[in-house]
Structures are given as C-alpha cells and as structure tokens.
Structure 1
Amino acid sequence: MSVLTSNLLLLLTAAIWGFAFVAQRVGMDYVGPFTFNGVRFALGAFSLLPVMFFFKEKPEDRDNAKHELKSVVGAGVLAGSVLFLGASLQQIGLVYTTAGKAAFITCLYIVLVPMIGIFFKQYISLTTWFGSIITIVGLYLLCVKDSFYISYGEVLELVGAFFWTVHILVIDRFSRKVDVLKLSFFQFITCSVLSLITALFIETINIETLKDALVPILYGGICSVGIAYTLQVVGQKHAQPSHAAIILSMETVFAAIGGWIILNEKLGVQELLGCAIMLVGMLLSQLNNINKPQSADDELILNVTDSNLDKNRGGIRCD
C-alpha cells in the first residue's frame, strides 16, 4: 500500500470521526447521553468481533493467548472506566454546545499528551510549547464570550479532554503488553456497561426513543468505532505517527463542517478565528516529529495517534 493511499484512509477516518460528533449531537434529541453511549459502545465492541476473528491467533499461539486474557481484561476494565468518564462528559457537553466546538475542545489531547509527558521525563520541543500557547489563545477565542463567560457544555468538554488525555496514556501503557483488538473490545464493553448502569438510575430507557435515535447510534457505534478503527489500523501501517496525528486532527474541521451542513450550527467570526488558531496550534505541536527518527523516548508523544481509535471518539475517539 502506498503512503498516499494510507493518508487517504486516515483522512476518511478523520471524516467519519468528525461527523460522529454530529451523530452524537442528533442522538441527544431522542435519548439521554448515558443511554446513547451505552448502546453505541456495545455496538462498537461487537463490530470489532469480525476483525478479531480475522486476526485470531494461530494454533501455536493459543496457550499464550489464554495466559494473556487475564491481563487484557484488567487493562480493558481500567481503560474502559477512564473512557466512560471522557465519553460521558463529552456526550453531556454536546447537549449544551455545538458539535464543532466540542470537537475542537476534545482534540486538545493532541497538546495535553506531550505536556503531561513532562512528568514522565519526555522531551518537549519549542514548537510544542509554541503550539500549545497558540492553541490556548484559539481556545479562548472559541469559548470565552464578551463577558468572560464560558458555557457549561464547554467546561464539560474541557474536563473531558483531560480524561481523553489520561485515556491515551493508559492505552499507551497497555497497548504494548496486550493484544490491541482485545483491549479495545473489553474497554468498549466496560464503557457500555457503566453507561447503561448509570442510565438505569438517572434516565428513562425507552425502545421507541431508541428507534428514533437508531441512525445516529448505528453511525456512532458501527461507523465511528468499528469501521473507522479498522481504517485507522490499516492506514497507520504505512504512515508516520506524527503525519497520522496531523491528518486525524482534521476530524475537528469535519465536525465543524458537519454541524454547519446538517445541524445549521453557525460560528461567529471570533469563533471561526479561534477554530483556525487552535488547528494551527495543534499542527505545530506535532511539527517537530515530522521526518524525525522515532526513539523509545518519543513514543509517548507519537502514540497519540495509536490511541486515538478510542474517541469516538467519538467518537473520541468518538470519540
């Protein structure tokens, strides 16, 4: 597969994840956030089963697989619990803010991961610092109003971005030790169970409303998780992680476009400027990694892309 083909697959992945924010926003018209997440993450988990079957272990590896199962379940539960917090805050925040804003704020993890990497003695370049400052300026223009007021939904998305960052670091730790597909499956199941349990206590789960939200739920579960995840895995085999991170960050642009076309969400001049500045800042934070040989010390920063599959995403990840 050529590099161009890989990049196009990653761009398609970004488009699917971006429009997933729109699907999540539409779903809120019919069901509660925890019900929506519970069902879509269950669909996302089961959509991975065909991929897991395709990449199943060879007979000689089955003994190792059985030994690994306990580790991957534990890692999946931990990652799924963090994913539940990030996805819940993102979904609730979408009730109070636009799909475009939610996507841009969520993608702050691109900046936050290398920043938190400081505590793990990771090298932070000047371009990363500069990109981070630019991103904060853009975030201010996007979210803060004339009276220095930031909406409730935007606050939830900001807190959620922190949990997406923690989730990426958790995945970064365990993805090297256990099978990534199994890890994804168990974390999605964990997130689904926690979401549905919460929904049983604070929301009304109704079959009729679920039918009304069927299309956004199917898109959020099967397309955003199952299909986009597979495209990402295939695309990243022939793409540099830093290049992939930049391409996948375009999901923010697709989310804003989708919100404008489908939901008639319009951003003002200040908000559009904020989006543009944030995008520039996020791209600058990855600039130092382009064409740079990857070392063990760089992996935490570059593995933003490797872990991005769990947003959403939506997506996330949706993600």
Structure 2
Amino acid sequence: MKPKNAVMLLLTSLIWGTAFVAQSVGMDFLEPFTFNGVRSFIGGVTLLPCIWLLEKMNGKPEVDGTRKDLIQGGIACGLLLFAASSLQQMGIQYTTAGKAGFITAFYIVFVPVLGIFLKKAAGWKVWMSVFLALIGLYFLCIKEGFSIGKGDIMIFACALVFAVHILVIDYYSPKVDGVKMSCIQFFVCGIASLPFMFLTETPQIGNILDARMPILYAGVMSCGVAYTLQILGQKHANPAIASLLLSMESCFSVLSGWIILGETLSAREGIGCVLMFVAIILAQLPDKREKLKNGQA
C-alpha cells in the first residue's frame, strides 16, 4: 500500500472515531432523530461538490450497473444507515463515547459471520474473533449483577445493522459509483428521520444552531470528507490492510473521549476494549488460502 493511501485511511478512522465525541456533545442540544436528520442532509450536500470534483479529475467512473442499481443501492443503504445511526445516537445518550466506539466496531466481526448465510465460508480465525469479541463485550458492558446498560444494547443492535449495511454496500459497490450511492443514502437517511423527528421530538432552530459545531463536524467531516477519503484511500489497496487501518476508529474514539470529554474506562472495561480490538484485527487478517489465491508468498 502506498503511504498516501495509508494516511488517507488513517485520517478516515480518526475522523470517524472523533465523531463519537461530536455525537455525544450534540446530544446536549438535540434529540437523536433531529441530530441524525440534520447531519445526514449536511452529509449529502457535502458530497455533491465531491462528486463533481472527482468527475472533473478522473472523469465518470466505468460501472457495470444501471441507474436503477444506483437508486436501489442508495435507498437500501440509506434505510439501513437510518436504522443503525438512530440506534447509535439513542444509545450514546446512556453510555460513553469510548464504549460506543468499541461496541460499534463489533460490526467488523459480524460481517464475516453473517456472510455464512450468504454461503461464504468462515475460517477458524473468524470464530476465534467472535469468541474473543464476546468475552471483550462481557468485560466492557456487563456490570455488577450481570446487568447491561440499555445504551450498550442499542449500540450492539446498531453494530448488527451496520454489518448488514456493509454487506449491502459490498453487493452494490462493484456495480455503481460509490460516492454517488453514498450521497443518495445520506439524503434517504435524512428523509427517513423527518417523520420521527417531528412526531416524537421537538426540533427547534435555536437548538440546531447551538449544536452547530458538533453537527457540522458529524455531517461535513464524518459523512462527507471521511467517506471520500475512504473511497480514495481504498483505491488499489489491499482490502484486509485497509479494513485494519479503518478499524483504528475504535481506538481513536476512546482516545478522543478521554482527551476531549475527560471520560475514563475502568480496568475491567479496558481489558474488554483490548480483547475486542484483538478480535477486530484477527477477523481482518487474510488466511493462507486467500494469500495463495492472490499470488502472495
């Protein structure tokens, strides 16, 4: 992998990790559906000039799919993103930014496990990853009396939906322009948030303006900039190494929660974080068969 590609992917994970802080701070002013709705619309608008710039630099990408595939993929991804981000935003009210980041990263283990149902074989490393991650999740979330915080449950469900979201992207991305599909998904996510925002919450312009910094960071940086960096960074990159670099998001979420919000993790929670991160890394390492298939030594 070229150094510039690695830098772009690390910047992506840094932006996504620190976005947990923005989400946590944003909840001081806005309710979940309002935050996600506004954030998603900002993300979609941010990607519009990115699409124009990429086409100006590289021309229109060659894709095998049709316009119908692009729209179907964008809508499917947008609805899944709405479900996952809503669960995440509601859950983050009841847990720390660091824990939310680590539990959300559980999707990296879920993806290969769900792939079994799509007739994709899983090796021993996948099952070892699941085992380690479950132990890590126990240390991270199970408190005295074997209770689990409701925020942790919501974030866990969010990770599962994100795993499905990734598999849908994996299906459509070879067929369509990924940046355009992402732009559509953000607008769909924003539109899906509107009825819940107006029926269950009390959105006010003043509160949105008060939350302008975290919501702009989450919308512009996390949605628009980070996604574009991911697309550019993964070009001609080994997918296993790219995934490993992107999984650093969980570390950055803990570090940013500690530095910016003053959050702390107990020794027990720290052990859980380490075990989950080891599981995430192990799940992304290619096995010997994949190396041989790719012509590697």
> Under TM normalisation by the shorter chain, which class is it?
over 0.9
Partner Cα distance (1:20, 1:85) in 2: 18
Q: Partner residue of 1:154?
A: 152
- Report the CA distance between 1:7 and its aligned residue: 1.1
CA deviations 1:137-167 (Å, max 9, x no partner) are 1110000012100000000011111110111
Q: Secondary structure of the equivalent of 1:45?
A: helix
Q: Partner residue of 1:276?
A: 274
Listed as ranges, the gaps of 5+ residues in structure 2 are none
Partner amino acid for 2:133? T
Q: Following superposition of structure 1 onto structure 2, how do residues 101-112 of structure 1 map, counting pairs within 5 Å?
A: 101-112=99-110
Partner Cα distance (2:83, 2:166) in 1: 13
Q: Partner residue of 1:114?
A: 112
In the comparison of the two structures, how many residue pairs are matched? 292
- Report the CA distance between 1:57 and its aligned residue: 8.7
CA deviations 1:7-44 (Å, max 9, x no partner) are 12211111110000110010000001100000111111
Q: Secondary structure of the equivalent of 2:4?
A: helix
Identity over aligned pairs, percent: 45
Q: Following superposition of structure 1 onto structure 2, how do residues 79-158 of structure 1 map, counting pairs within 5 Å?
A: 79-158=77-156
Q: Following superposition of structure 1 onto structure 2, how do residues 289-308 of structure 1 map, counting pairs within 5 Å?
A: 289=287, 292-293=290-291
Partner amino acid for 1:20? A
Q: Following superposition of structure 1 onto structure 2, how do residues 194-273 of structure 1 map, counting pairs within 5 Å?
A: 194-273=192-271
- Alpha-carbon contact 1:127-1:288 (below 8 Å) kept: no
Partner amino acid for 2:73? A
CA deviations 1:59-83 (Å, max 9, x no partner) are x979x99x93333222211211111
Partner amino acid for 2:205? I
CA RMSD of aligned residues (A): 2.3
CA deviations 1:94-144 (Å, max 9, x no partner) are 000111111111111110110111112212111221122111111100000
Partner amino acid for 2:24? R
- Report the CA distance between 1:289 and its aligned residue: 4.8
Q: Secondary structure of the equivalent of 1:267?
A: coil
Q: Secondary structure of the equivalent of 1:243?
A: helix
Partner amino acid for 2:43? G
Q: Partner residue of 1:306?
A: none
- Report the CA distance between 1:170 and its aligned residue: 1.1
Q: Partner residue of 2:43?
A: 44
- Report the CA distance between 1:293 and its aligned residue: 4.0
CA deviations 1:286-308 (Å, max 9, x no partner) are 12358944969xxxxxxxxxxxx
Q: Secondary structure of the equivalent of 1:229?
A: helix
CA deviations 1:195-229 (Å, max 9, x no partner) are 12210111111111111100000000000111111
- Alpha-carbon contact 2:179-2:231 (below 8 Å) kept: no
Partner Cα distance (2:24, 2:56) in 1: 38
TM-score by structure 1 length?
Answer: 0.86
Q: Secondary structure of the equivalent of 1:48?
A: helix
Partner Cα distance (1:75, 1:234) in 2: 20
Structure 1's 145 and 15: CA in aligned 2 closer, same or farther, altered over 3 A?
same
Structure 1's 222 and 123: CA in aligned 2 closer, same or farther, altered over 3 A?
same
- Alpha-carbon contact 2:34-2:201 (below 8 Å) kept: yes
Q: Partner residue of 2:8?
A: 9
- Is 1:21 equivalent to 2:20 in the alignment? yes
- Alpha-carbon contact 2:91-2:151 (below 8 Å) kept: yes
Partner Cα distance (1:254, 1:87) in 2: 19
- Is 1:77 equivalent to 2:75 in the alignment? yes
Partner Cα distance (1:225, 1:209) in 2: 21
Residues 196-205 or 174-183, more deviating: 174-183
- Alpha-carbon contact 2:9-2:229 (below 8 Å) kept: yes
TM-score by structure 2 length?
Answer: 0.92
- Alpha-carbon contact 1:125-1:288 (below 8 Å) kept: no
Partner Cα distance (1:213, 1:96) in 2: 19
Partner Cα distance (1:211, 1:264) in 2: 25
Q: Partner residue of 2:55?
A: 56
